[in-house]
Amino acid sequence: MKKSVILIITGIVILGIFIFLFINHEPRSNSDYPVNEQGNNESNKYENQEIIENKNQNCEAQFTEYLVDPKYVQKVGQVGVVHGFGKTIVERSYISVKEEFREQRIPIYAPADMTLIAGARYKVSSDPNYLDDYVLKFDAGCNVEVVLGHVKGVVDQIGVQLTNVKNDSREDMLNPVKFKAGEEIGYYYQQASGGVAGFDFIVRDRKIINQFINQERYSNRRADNLISGVCPYDLYTGDKKEAYYNLLGGGGGTVFKVKNCGNASRDVAGAISGMWFLNKEVTGSIYDYYMEGEYGSPVSITGDEERISMGNLGNQEPVIYIWSNNPTYKLPEKVTTQHCYQRYSNSNMPEGYVYFKVVDNATIDIFYSSSGTCPSSFPSSGSKRYYK
């Protein structure tokens, strides 16, 4: 009997201890890692860390050091220009070096404390003598990305991760490398001929959503780059900002009288400026371009003091330029009814035209001709309708 009582008491004590331990024990699992807003844990790769670092940062990023010393620079470009291949408007600023510094290494520095997170080394020209290009993507904090394109050389801590030469500029995720403001990243080198005449300075502030006439076409990652592109020089203050603004100019080398850095969105309600699409319905991304005969989609139209740029029309060249000394030169944001741009050859002979007619705030008609002169009125047939 005594033995049975002792066994029962012992059993109760052991059970009590077990229940106590079970209640107070928290099993370790993946949820022990900090969780971001998407529900992904910190044990994931660095691509998630980029999102985590930026998502909760509503601060304002500031650049304190020159990306490139202004003494080397011929001009810095506006943002929101027609890309050289003509298809889209891009958020980058093109930086060109002075002729006397060509075929010299021009140092490029970190404008702020930032971390390299992605990049690629690639061929931009089939010419075997042409140097490889680098594209580098950095996290600058405060939800700001910095991307440098057409860089010609990089420091060793970047170069060891980019030994393979690709055929395109799509970035690969890299092991993060931290740079302090003013620390050298690499260099630009303008060769005597071939390739791209300048390098790209791109800043995307993910806290900013640029506004368009048809916002739906640019939302839900349909325009992931353009939607948050900002003027890089606006992140500077004081003398450094003034130095870069004084160098703002056009693709042909003109330094602007009016210091305007442009805007990633060139849309103006009731005018022809901006990007135009053959499909009224929003399908795919803005980068899904195509041609219907001589009419492309999208057609991209911008203008500045130097020239008007019209991309993706005709089959002769990627971009049609109407220079400011052309009698038909008129800024696209000023074309609110109809207007014909006359093209001229180098010998000043007429060689076609582009006629625009505004239908409403989000619709225009375009008539393109590879020959002839501007008619007295918009052609009654043969035009294409475009939509925002």
Contacts of 309 (CB under 8 A, 6+ apart): 81, 82, 251, 300, 301, 302, 303, 319, 320, 321
The helix/strand/coil state of 301 is: strand
Q: What angle do CA 109, 113, 115 make, to 5 degrees?
A: 90
CATH number for the domain formed by residue range(s) 70-243: 2.70.70.10
Backbone angles phi, psi at 262, to 5 degrees: 85, -170
Which two tokens mark 6? 């002792």
Alpha carbons 261 and 78: distance in angstroms, whole number: 5
Q: What is the separation of C-alpha 388 from the centre of its chain, rounded to a whole number of angstroms?
A: 20
d(CA 328, CA 256): 20
Find out whether 312 and 301 touch, Cβ atoms under 8 Å.
no
* For the chain, the helix, strand and coil percentages under 3-state DSSP, each to the nearest 5: 20, 35, 50
The model's pTM is: 0.83
So what's the pLDDT on residue 348?
87
Residue 325 neighbours by CB under 8 Å, 6+ apart: none
The residues of the chain that CATH labels 2.70.70.10 are 70-243
Q: Residue 345 phi/psi, 5° resolution?
A: -80, 175
pLDDT for res 331: 98
Question: Is the alpha carbon torsion for 80, 86, 343, 377 positive or negative?
Answer: negative
pLDDT, residue 128, reads: 83
Report yes or no: 364 and 267 within 8 Å, Cβ to Cβ. no
Q: Are 206 and 145 in contact (CB under 8 A)?
A: yes
Rounded to 5 degrees, what are φ and ψ at 169?
Answer: -100, 15
Q: For position 46, what pLDDT does the model report?
A: 28
Q: pLDDT tens, position by position, for the chain (388 residues)?
A: 444 444 444 454 444 444 333 333 333 333 222 222 223 322 222 233 343 344 547 899 999 999 999 999 999 999 999 998 899 999 999 999 999 999 999 999 999 999 999 999 999 888 888 899 999 999 999 999 999 999 999 999 999 999 999 999 999 999 999 999 999 999 999 987 766 689 999 999 999 999 999 999 999 999 989 999 999 999 999 999 999 999 999 999 999 999 999 999 999 999 999 999 999 999 899 999 999 999 999 999 999 999 999 999 999 899 999 999 999 999 999 999 999 999 998 878 999 999 999 999 999 999 999 999 999 999 999 999 999 9
Q: Where are the beta strands (DSSP E) in 89-211?
A: 89-90, 93-97, 106-109, 114-122, 133-139, 144-151, 153-154, 172-179, 184-188, 199-205
